[in-house]
A = this chain, B = another copy of it.
């Protein structure tokens, strides 16, 4: 990435700083919640819930790294009645987000597929297709993200949108059919998880093109960092809570229908 350009105000700098710290707290606490809930679901849903926690755990690691990189990239000093912010010369490493997505986005889709408990063959084929398509999507996004040239940014954005639409379409249409086969009390939750994925995913391409729609310098960087942080918390932690709710409800139904139950 090119060096951070322009003069950040203390307000802009600390808005990003606090959004990143919020990311650490939200992802870290979601991780603990998911893993502590493992004994409360039946064996069938433990792998889905384990992966749900792995996704937020990987994100916790990366939010720590992004936070530390943000702090190292600036010098903040009192200047009269305010604080003056200047770049320190140490690079701010934005690649952490892409490394994170490369690992977590395929896993997110796999946790959704696992919690639906489809026949084994369907689980494997959907997991492979959606997992690979989402990894390609992230890989195609990166070359544009590190570019200042707006035409080149649009080019990679458009390429990444192809697997993006494939995944979102599969979620809405393909999994829609499977949703209909879920027990009545969970089909609403599964449907919510599918739509939450679609909506939270749609934020990413918009944050990506912030620089292409006229914003530049510190304001663009601030909107990008805060936008990605909120989208990440929704797509990983809030989405994970839905996965947990589905797993818990389906576990309850399984226990009810056990033959040996008094």
Contact = CB atoms under 8 A, between A and B. Distances in A.
A26 B43 CA distance: 25
Interface string A57-100: 11001100100000000001110011100010111010110011
B40 A46 contact: yes
Contacts of A9: none
A259 interface: yes
B103 A25 contact: yes
A25 B61 contact: yes
The complex is assembled from copies of this chain, and their number is 2
Interface stretch (A29-37, A130-138, A206-214): A29-37
Interface stretch (A10-18, A153-161, A163-171, A174-182): A10-18
A9 to B, nearest CB: 13
A211 to B, nearest CB: 16
Interface in A227-262: 259-260, 262
Contacts of A83: 3, 91
B33 A54 contact: yes
A242 B14 CA distance: 36
A172 B177 CA distance: 42
A212 B33 CA distance: 40
Given A29-B57, A36-B38, A57-B29, A91 B262 contact: no
A97 to B, nearest CB: 11
